[in-house]
A and B are shown apart, each in its own frame.
Chain A
Amino acid sequence: MPASSYESASLAMPSSMAASARPSRVEQEVMGLFEEFRGPLLRYSLSLGLSIHDAEEVIQEVFLALFRHLHLDRSRRNLRGWLFRVTHNLALKQRLANQISIQRTAEDASVAEKHADPAPGPEEQASAAQRRGHLLAVVEALPEIDQLCLGLRAEGLRYREIATVLGMSLGSVSISLTRSLSRLARADGR
């Protein structure tokens, strides 16, 4: 399981290194951004169909690349957009390497049941889970580019940033989101 080996990975750092090497300003900056963006970037990688193991590894690579980027005094402008763009590229590369395709529809039908919100009562819970499962099935049926636009927007990226990450025009982002939200609204039965 990735988590356990990540936890134990700290064992591999020699005590001398831990004691003597004070993190540089760039290292501290990278760690700060890791705290802030690991979750969003992981979710985005998962939405691209990676396993959690691969997604964690991709995120590690992204932040190592960020270190090199900052270490070379390259642009700090819109690092959030930079992080998502690099994550997108590395995740696609990883996906290609794994020769996997996004086939999560069947799994997603059960995802809502597995991860239902514990707060509501059993009936509400079942109903909410059913609705969520239905919604996820609608999302899965969207073209992949629409799913990615939705995911990036859900992570707080503005249209211009989404356009940059996905290499599409601003207008296309707008059209994609409008199309997706219309379908979701219909599916949501509002």
Chain B
Amino acid sequence: MLHKNPNLLMRHISDDDLVRSADGELSSQQAAEVDAHLEACWDCRARMEEVQGAITSFVRAYHADFDAQLPPIAGPRALLRTRLAALASESPREWWKQIFQFGFSSRPVALVCLSLLVAAIGILWLWHAPEEELQSASVFYDAEAAPNRGLTPGATRQVTVNEVCSAPREEVVADVSVSLRQRVFQEYGIADARPEDYEIDYLIAPRLGGTEDLRNLWPEPYRARVWNAHVKDALEERLHEMVCHGQVDLATAQHDIATDWIAAYKKYFHTNKPLPLSS
């Protein structure tokens, strides 16, 4: 077999073939030829050892560099498990997807039908919707009222219900430091943020065990007309009260406000729109 490739017999093995041989990336025939050459050629064996040595050194340095930085897996594992459970409960296979999957043989037909359905629903809604509802349609465009869950999943400290309920309000409400505020804006890609445009808000309020952590803070725009910071403050107040009266456990309150604070408001105030704020 070797004689079929005179290059490997007459010349030394190229660096590329040496590396690919070390990595098992050659075809079986090429590998056999390289092995045969290495048996005969001390120069190439020495070069192969250099390659292997470089790989060994790199792998050791790579692991030494990064492994020491890796936190224990327990926390991230628990967080992922929680997020998966939330995601699984949010996204079971919706009935319409199943209809879509089984009811239509081709995607174009399905898309046309869906478009017609959406258009029909839109027309009907516009035709029948009371003016008040049309005005409150801005609800749907208050996109920034909810934080990006990827950037702001919420973070809590270890705290008991007694501690939460016994701390005076002024002890737990803290101003966010300037540097942290800047990092929050940076995370959200907001350049040249004006203080009057945003409040850096805690997703899980400190009085519910939330921490001053990058993952628990997001820039909440004051311009949000419906679901704004004042409404969220009312929810925090409500949840704090309910936790302290034993009507909701602390973990549930933290979870609900972190998952979707607007949904939590609707759930705990039994309403689909914010109640008038008491002055």
Contact = CB atoms under 8 A, between A and B. Distances in A.
A9 B154 contact: yes
B78 A42 contact: no
Interface of A: 2-17, 21, 23-24, 26-27, 30-31, 34-35, 38-39, 42-43, 46-47, 52-53, 56-57, 59-61, 63-64, 67-68, 71, 97-99, 108, 111-112, 114-117, 131-132, 135-136, 139, 150-151, 153-154, 158-159, 174-175, 177-178, 181-182, 184-185, 188, 190
A5 B80 contact: no
B242 interface: no
A4 B250 CA distance: 18
A67 B87 contact: yes
Nearest to B75: A6
A181 B52 CA distance: 9
B68 A114 contact: yes
B57 A135 contact: yes
Contacts of B215: 2, 5, 57
A59 B250 CA distance: 28
Nearest to A181: B54
B2 interface: no
Nearest to B55: A181
B75 A150 contact: no
B54 A21 contact: no
Contacts of A64: 80, 83-84, 87
Given A17-B89, A174-B25, 13 more contacts: A5-B215, A10-B81, A15-B252, A27-B88, A30-B84, A31-B77, A31-B80, A43-B70, A60-B76, A68-B87, A111-B64, A154-B58, A188-B50
Contacts of A181: 19, 51, 54-55, 58
A61 B58 contact: no
B155 interface: yes
Interface of B: 15-16, 18-20, 23, 25, 49-51, 53-55, 57-85, 87-89, 91, 150-151, 153-158, 186-187, 189, 204, 209, 211, 213-216, 249-252, 254-256, 258
Among A12, A47, A117, A175, which residue has the most Cβ atoms of chain B within 10 A?
A12
B73 A35 contact: yes
Nearest to B47: A185
Given A5-B215, A177-B23, A178-B19, A12 B204 contact: yes
21 contacts: A4-B75, A6-B71, A9-B78, A9-B79, A13-B82, A21-B89, A42-B70, A43-B70, A57-B151, A57-B215, A60-B80, A67-B88, A71-B88, A98-B187, A112-B65, A115-B64, A117-B64, A135-B57, A136-B65, A178-B18, A190-B49
Contacts of B69: 46, 52
A60 B79 contact: yes
Contacts of B77: 31, 34-35
B70 A31 contact: no
A37 B65 CA distance: 18
B251 A24 contact: no
A5 B70 contact: no
Given A12-B255, A13-B85, A5 B156 contact: yes
B67 to A, nearest CB: 7
A110 to B, nearest CB: 11
Contacts of A11: 156, 158, 209, 250-251, 254
Contacts of A4: 75, 157
Given A174-B25, A188-B57, A34 B80 contact: yes
Nearest to B70: A42
B254 A12 contact: yes
Contact of B75 (A7, A27, A136): A7
Q: Which 5 A-B residue pairings sit nearest by Cβ, starting from the closest?
A: A6-B75, A10-B78, A5-B155, A7-B75, A3-B71
A10 B79 contact: yes
B64 A38 contact: no
